[in-house]
Structure 1
Amino acid sequence: MGHGPAGVEPSGARDRRPVEAVVTTEPDGVEVVQRQRDACGLTHQPLLVLDAVRDLLDAHGIGEGPIAWQRIGAGQSNVTYLLRRGPRPPLPRSAHDMVREARIQQLVCREGLPVPEILAVCEDESVLGVPFYVMSALDGEVVTDSLPTALDSRSDRAAIGAVVVDILLRLHSVDVTHGELSAFGRPDGYLDRQVTRFAGLWSVNSRRELPLVDELAQWLSRHRPMSQRPALVHGDYRIGNLMFERIPPARVLAVLDWEMATLGDPLADLGYLTATWSEPGTMPTPLHLSPVTGLPGFATTADLTELYAAASALDLTPLPWYQTLALWKAAIFCEAMHTRWLDGERPGDEFAPALADGVPLLLEQALRHANEL
């Protein structure tokens, strides 16, 4: 974010409904305040402190003049004002690490992957209460409920699936055995750690008992496949985290939301992509955030799998296991959102209340994938 218009796009799981874009320079006294002292007496810590952000931008030579901001989304995890920050504290251990996320994007940019340019990183929590980073503004389209007219031909719809898979293959082809990226995770034991870690989070994140959480954890442990090779794993790879250029042919302008990126098993990304891809006949869950792909002409999950298989030497036989893992994990982190909403930590949230029913739906769909193996 620089001096002048900026954008707000909370990321992670997103509400399907668009939020009207409004550019403003006036603090609302709740989420945006002018000075830190203006936050005294507020129930919740503000998300933006304008004077503090202006000073940071000035120090990095980013723009000039008054700061404006624009809300362009209604996301559920981290918050993006063309600077990206975590949600209000308290934060789960190791979650919402904006400094790490910015560094990963800087490194994958060097590998030729399309990402926003990182302009500045602030590790000083006294500025906004959490670390954050500032990135360049990009003029593109994120596909959710509809397509821009310029990309809505039958051929463009078919091409989008191919482009989504092509970018994923490029991501998974990055060499992670040498250089700075090799320090961003431990591929050995990745799948074991995923199951163990998320199984332990349920009791922390929830106040209710859903037996399917434990049943699926045990199933995942018993049927865990052997990872075939290490790769950079995005962790939230879905069409809603890709920004497309506005003109045909379909091209990805940027891959967004690198919070969960690490080194691990590449099929974890393919499992997540296919488990959250909307197509006719699928049961919608809170993770089907781009329902437009269910329209005629779009690739199906089978098409996506075939495209990936054609360009990869990996055996995709165990893919249902990875799809099960994806939705089981999603149920657990969505439960955390719901619990924080119950605790009053997500005021004004319209997504979290629906997770009372949405989390069980995710678990039921995960079980369906498990039964396919």
Structure 2
Amino acid sequence: MESLSQLPANAAAPLVDVVESASDAARLRQPPLLIRGSLEDYLDGLGLGRGPLRAQRIGEGHSNATFVIERDGFEAVLRRPPRPPYPKHAHNVLREARVQEALADTAVPVPQILVTCRSDEVLGAPFYLMERLHGQVVTARLPAELDDAGARRRMIDSLVDSLAALHAVDPAAVGLQDWNRGPDFLERQLNLFDKLWLVNKVREIPELSGVREWLREHQPADAASTLVHGDFRLGNVMYEPSSSGTIDAVLDWELITVGDPMTDLGYLLSTFTEPGDPESPLLGLGGVLRGGGFPGREYVAARYAEKSGRSLENLRWHVAFAFWRTAVGLEGYYKRAVAGLTDDPFNHALKTGIPQLASCAAATAFDGEFV
């Protein structure tokens, strides 16, 4: 991962997402995310639609970029990495596509993958196209059809049940056994995020160091070895466009791996805001949850234990770890904001958001909060 001294001096230039042609892209100081003419030519070669391409960036993700693309006779969702520079092995969208193809015939709801493009020649980076679904991604606002107590409970039941279904998939049975690096997943994770902090940090946050020591001292043995989503939360699923509260698709597979499934549950709970939780731009990932009327963290944990058959004995450790690793990982996003490589307000809000996450990690580790 790049240091601040390695970031381009022209990083403060205005950022443009979509341009018409490769020549337009060449005139920009920072590369665009989508070149309309190049993508039209690529789709023409595949026989996918015809005529001018319409593109709209969607979602509240702050890592890989997502667009709805439309032309006569064709529509899809496109996923590609963010603007460079970024670490060599990060933002692997082809990995996302592979896991969704692997899960197509399982109980885990995923969109159909339509096209994967491994070449950088079309958009300057690999990308994939998946079917466009027309459900509801619930973030800051609850759709009217889901705005009652019964629908709220069904939403959370479906959320937890989808996580349990993912963890029930045998990686070998769906052709993902090569992702299994064996035991000591949690040890590798701690080592990884220790290294990330050394690379990412642009300021000292003492609470993160204290939590790191607590995590080392209280590290449990791995609970199991399953597929792990890595970013499983309310905002990363799409609900059917009805009052059923049923999940139509699990989204954003960027961090998928094989490891301890309890890390997914700990992360879900770390994002599962309840009324009365501290105000924070990151705890706000729970969005509508803060308004109340949903089952709480205790219900989520109990339902997961019931559906998965797994013990919650070390849940406090996993929630503290989730806050800690999220803070460490997002410091790299804040680093990009400091360097002027992004105009995303979320990244700039990390100036205060990451220290707040560190405080949540400390409160969980030392006082047992958020579990």
Separation in 1, partners of 2:279, 2:330 = 15
Is 2:222 the partner of 1:232?
no
- Any idea what the Cα deviations from partners look like across 1:204-249, whole Å, max 9, x if unmatched? 1122111222222222122111112111100000000000012121
Structure 1 stretch displaced more, 188-197 or 308-317: 308-317
Note the residue ranges of structure 2 that are not aligned, 5 or more in a row.
1-13, 68-76
Amino acid of the structure 1 residue aligned with 2:168 = S
Instruction: State the match for 1:297 in structure 2.
Output: 293
Please tell me whether the aligned partners of residues 143 and 290 of structure 1 are also in contact (alpha carbons under 8 angstroms).
no
* 1:39 paired residue among 21, 25, 39: 25
1:165-204 pair list within 5 angstroms? 165-204=160-199
Is 2:108 the partner of 1:122?
no
SS of the residue 2:51 aligns to: coil
Please tell me whether the aligned partners of residues 15 and 30 of structure 2 are also in contact (alpha carbons under 8 angstroms).
no
Relative to the length of structure 2, the TM-score reads: 0.89
SS of the residue 1:271 aligns to: helix
* 1:48 paired residue among 34, 38, 51: 34
Structure 1 stretch displaced more, 356-365 or 46-55: 46-55
Instruction: State the match for 2:73 in structure 1.
Output: none
Separation in 2, partners of 1:93, 1:34 = 28
- Any idea what the Cα deviations from partners look like across 1:273-304, whole Å, max 9, x if unmatched? 01110111222331431321233320100010
Cα distance change on mapping 1:321 and 1:141 into 2, 3 Å: same
Is 2:287 the partner of 1:306?
no
* 1:357 paired residue among 352, 355, 358: 352
Amino acid of the structure 1 residue aligned with 2:42 = L
Please tell me whether the aligned partners of residues 293 and 299 of structure 1 are also in contact (alpha carbons under 8 angstroms).
no
Residue 169 of structure 1 and its aligned partner are, at CA, apart by 0.7
* 1:65 paired residue among 40, 51, 61: 51
* 2:149 paired residue among 130, 151, 154: 154
* 1:325 paired residue among 297, 321, 328: 321
- Any idea what the Cα deviations from partners look like across 1:104-138, whole Å, max 9, x if unmatched? 11101122321111111111112212111111111
Please tell me whether the aligned partners of residues 150 and 247 of structure 1 are also in contact (alpha carbons under 8 angstroms).
yes
Please tell me whether the aligned partners of residues 137 and 235 of structure 2 are also in contact (alpha carbons under 8 angstroms).
yes
Please tell me whether the aligned partners of residues 199 and 214 of structure 1 are also in contact (alpha carbons under 8 angstroms).
no
Amino acid of the structure 1 residue aligned with 2:158 = V
SS of the residue 2:238 aligns to: strand
Please tell me whether the aligned partners of residues 29 and 39 of structure 1 are also in contact (alpha carbons under 8 angstroms).
no
Amino acid of the structure 2 residue aligned with 1:314 = R
Please tell me whether the aligned partners of residues 155 and 247 of structure 2 are also in contact (alpha carbons under 8 angstroms).
no
Please tell me whether the aligned partners of residues 320 and 372 of structure 1 are also in contact (alpha carbons under 8 angstroms).
no
Is 2:312 the partner of 1:316?
yes
Cα distance change on mapping 1:74 and 1:270 into 2, 3 Å: closer
Runs of 4+ in 1 over 4 A off after TM superposition: none
* 2:209 paired residue among 195, 214, 221: 214
SS of the residue 2:84 aligns to: coil
SS of the residue 2:103 aligns to: helix
SS of the residue 1:65 aligns to: strand
* 1:246 paired residue among 241, 244, 249: 241
Name the count of aligned residue pairs: 345
Amino acid of the structure 1 residue aligned with 2:80 = R
Amino acid of the structure 2 residue aligned with 1:201 = L
Separation in 1, partners of 2:82, 2:94 = 14
Separation in 2, partners of 1:38, 1:134 = 23
Instruction: State the match for 1:96 in structure 2.
Output: 91
Structure 1 stretch displaced more, 182-191 or 256-265: 182-191
- Any idea what the Cα deviations from partners look like across 1:163-213, whole Å, max 9, x if unmatched? 111111111110124451111232412111111101111121122111222
Residue 93 of structure 1 and its aligned partner are, at CA, apart by 2.9
SS of the residue 1:167 aligns to: helix
Please tell me whether the aligned partners of residues 168 and 308 of structure 2 are also in contact (alpha carbons under 8 angstroms).
no
Instruction: State the match for 1:336 in structure 2.
Output: 332
1:269-308 pair list within 5 angstroms? 269-285=264-280, 286-308=282-304
Is 2:246 the partner of 1:260?
no
SS of the residue 1:337 aligns to: helix
Percent identity among equivalent residues? 41
Note the residue ranges of structure 1 that are not aligned, 5 or more in a row.
1-27
Please tell me whether the aligned partners of residues 187 and 231 of structure 1 are also in contact (alpha carbons under 8 angstroms).
no
Please tell me whether the aligned partners of residues 151 and 246 of structure 1 are also in contact (alpha carbons under 8 angstroms).
no
Instruction: State the match for 2:130 in structure 1.
Output: 135
RMSD across aligned positions (CA): 1.7
Separation in 2, partners of 1:309, 1:372 = 23
* 1:369 paired residue among 354, 364, 369: 364
Relative to the length of structure 1, the TM-score reads: 0.89
Separation in 2, partners of 1:112, 1:178 = 13
- Any idea what the Cα deviations from partners look like across 1:293-337, whole Å, max 9, x if unmatched? 233320100010111112222110111111111111111121111
